[in-house]
Amino acid sequence: MAKENRKIDPKKPKFSAYWIYAIIIIGFLVLNFIGGSGWGSAPKTTISEFENYLSNGEVQKVVILNRREAKVYLTAEAKKLEKHKNTRSTSILPSSPSEPDYQFEFGDLQNFENDIAKIKKENGLDTSVIYNTESNVWGEIFITLLPFALIIGVWIFIMRRMSGGTGGGAGGQIFNIGKSKAKLFDQNTDVKVSFENVAGLEGAKEEIQEIVDFLKNPDKYTSLGGKIPKGALLVGPPGTGKTLLAKAVAGEAKVPFFSLSGSDFVEMFVGVGASRVRDLFKQAKEKSPAIIFIDEIDAIGRARGKSNFSGSNDERENTLNQLLTEMDGFGTNTNVIVLAATNRADVLDKALMRAGRFDRQIYVDLPDVRERKEIFEVHLKPIKKVENELDTEFLAKQTPGFSGADIANVCNEAALIAARKGKAAVGKQDFLDAVDRIVGGLEKKNKIITPEEKRAIAVHEAGHATVSWMLEHAAPLVKVTIVPRGQSLGAAWYLPEERLIVRPNQMLDEMCAALGGRAAEKVVFNEISTGALSDLEKVTKQARAMVTIYGLNDKVGNLTYYDSTGQSEYNFTKPYSEQTSELIDKEISNIVEKQYQRAIALLEEHKDKLLELAEVLLEKEVIFKDNLEKIFGERPFGKKEEESVKEPS
């Protein structure tokens, strides 16, 4: 396909509007010059010389211009005199009779008039004196228009800036503000993505395979009277491969792919969004069969009529309406399929999900262990690894909760770390360092920590480790460190089980383990510190969720105040009464307090082991499950053992 699309082809020379401005300004200057004093001006002279010429009778007439300047016209005889050789008549330019021979500024008009009158009277001359107010027409037009020109110039400049400059916009021309900013990928672009590049996501791939099929052989479906769907919504957390999936569809179906983000439609000018939608669909239809991919559709697709206190969202609504109209408008035979991605399907306008629009929803979840392994396999391919050292299964187990994008990031980060160490290939430790770094941020080896503080941190982390070791339902521990990293001073790492439903016991045990840090400080030093902030935050949120969302509290009962439609998002009023509000607060604080006391009791009982662990931690800085086993013996709850991870290398 030829690159006739002006928005995509970067090589098309741009005609700079600055040339137009330059030409206009030069034109004005030139006209000003001509209209004013011709192609040059008459030779200058002085008052005394002029008076000399006048008394000699050489002057035919004097024109007083604008009460300021005098133009002197000599008589025919005088022009022939040797001293007037340099006047216009003898210059290279042909002179017209209306051109003066001399000109000069005389200063005070009154004096000048008196002088002329005196000389005329003395010599009996009848030289004519003519008054003239000649104005410079072009000059005045120029002066009058200048402010407008400036204002228009500034306006154009601002508009270009706002339309995205030369970057996203089509050469940044003001006239293109209503044009869509979609990036086009087609046969000519070398970004090629196929289903092979997408690991895991079996279900989503299967559903989306159908769309590829629709685009490839629409007749197969339409001949039986079926209608080809117009859109599919990819729903899932960021970085899970939604864009990748959409690109793979385009790559597999071998059709042009228009990619843009929901926020690209929105501009501060009224009507721009809608006109961009129109333009996008027009372009797609021209190239059909085609795929339009709108990332972050929630930027325009939020439910209408909510969240607008000021009415300032009208523009967004117009954009959304236009999108709906376009999707309704194109017939089943247009072969344009709209894919959209969002991580919040619940806030989208219901009209978007109606049949005939985004009638399919494809869920793209965070990958589980098996899927993470596959994603690692995809991203490890281009990396030069140490032979037989990397076990993708091990890596997958080390990265619970990571999205596909995180895993891609780990692989890249590992390569960078290995390169920094001057290695020839990337090894296991580099990957583990990369994981640590992505989870916790950079190691801060030179952070100033007093020995006292260090001991407090060790006790705190040992507290987490001890409590979680003792509790049946707490997540198994992977490692504990007191190396400061990013914002945190130390960390206990668990391997959360990937469960679909959670029982109150599990939640309570996890909260107890999270409070184990502060409890250990209390037990060992009989003092608490600010170091438990993030633990407390986590615990408080969890307790609140138990009471107000999951209905796991006896006193509040089987109620939830969660609203999946997102309708209440902008409500300022609580969905419960003052009494309930009080009850909720009391129950939350009860839950947290009970777990804190439980952690303290546990640690009092095993204080010797807690202190022993803290000492090991102080010495080694990083300890793994094996070290814990040496102190505590085998963990009593064996069933999860095979799931957890052995100490690396």
Q: How far is the CB of 591 from Zn ion (least distance, A)?
A: 18
Shortest Å distance, C-beta 197 to ligand ADP: 6
237 is in an annotated binding site: yes
Contact mark string toward ligand ADP, 406..425, x via CB under 6 A: --x-----------------
Nearest to 478 by CA among 499, 459, 458, 464: 464
Instruction: Tell me, residue by residue from 176 to 215, as one string, x for binding to ligand ADP by CB under 6 A and - for no binding.
Output: ----------------------xxxx--------------
Those residues whose C-beta lies under 8 Å from the C-beta of residue 310, and which sit 6 or more positions away, are none
Out of 375, 415, 426, 456, the only residue in the binding site for ligand ADP (CB under 6 A) is 375
DSSP single-letter state for residue 348: B
- Integer Cα distance of 176 and 56 in angstroms: 71
Known binder of ligand: residue 239? Answer: yes
**Catalytic status, residue 315:** no
Three-class SS state of 235: strand
Q: Does 238 bind ligand ADP (CB under 6 A)?
A: yes
Alpha-carbon dihedral of residues 47, 53, 58, 60, nearest 10 degrees?
10
Q: Does 438 bind ligand ADP (CB under 6 A)?
A: no
Among ligand ADP, Zn ion, none, partner that 535 touches (CB below 5 to 8 angstroms by kind): Zn ion
Task: Report if residue 404 touches ligand ADP, rule: CB under 6 A.
Answer: yes
Binding of Zn ion by 433 (CB under 5 A): no
Residue written as tokens 């996203």? 168
510 binds Zn ion (CB under 5 A): no
**Of 571, 569, 576, 541, which Cα lies nearest the Cα of 555?**
576
CA atoms within 13 A on the CB side of 46: 2
Our finding on whether 233 is near ligand ADP (CB under 6 A) is no
The binder of Zn ion chosen from 262, 289, 367, 517 (CB under 5 A)? 517
Helix axis angle, 314-329 relative to 272-286, nearest 10°? 20
Q: Is 460 annotated as a binding residue?
A: yes
Q: Is 238 annotated as a binding residue?
A: yes
User: What is the separation of C-alpha 524 from the centre of its chain, rounded to a whole number of angstroms?
Assistant: 48
Distance CA 505, CA 511 (A): 10
CA distance 16 to 90: 45
**Close Cβ partners of 395 (under 8 Å, ≥ 6 residues apart):** 372, 373, 376, 410, 431, 435
Closest CA to 278 of 222, 319, 233, 307: 319
3-class SS of residue 261? strand
Compute the least distance from the CB of residue 234 to ligand ADP, in Å.
7
508 makes contact, choosing from Zn ion, ligand ADP, none, with CB < 5 to 8 Å by partner type, with none
Decide if residue 396 touches ligand ADP (CB under 6 A).
Answer: no
| H helix or E strand, kind and range, residue 402 | none
Of 277-285, 403-411, 581-589, 626-634: span binding ligand ADP (CB under 6 A): 403-411
Q: Which of 461, 510, 521, 587 is catalytic?
A: 461
- Should residue 331 be labelled a site residue for ligand ADP when binding is judged by CB under 6 A? no
Query: Which residue in this structure is represented by tokens 């000649």?
Result: 134
242 binds ligand ADP (CB under 6 A): yes
By the rule CB under 6 A, 405 interacts with ligand ADP: yes
- Give the shortest CB-635-to-Zn ion separation in angstroms: 20
- Does 243 belong to an annotated binding site? yes
Residues from 593 through 612 that contact ligand ADP (CB under 6 A): none
Q: How far apart are the first and last CA of the chain?
A: 54
Question: Which residue do the tokens 């669909």 mark?
Answer: 281
User: According to the binding rule CB under 6 A, does residue 517 interact with ligand ADP?
Assistant: no
What's the min distance (Å) between Cβ of 244 and ligand ADP? 4
Q: Which residues in this chain contact ligand ADP in the complex, by CB under 6 A?
A: 198-201, 238-244, 341, 375, 378, 404-405, 408
Q: Which residues bind Zn ion (CB under 5 A)?
A: 517, 535
Annotated binding site: 236-243, 460, 464, 535
Query: Residues forming the annotated binding site for Zn(2+)?
Result: 460, 464, 535
Residues with a catalytic annotation lie at 461
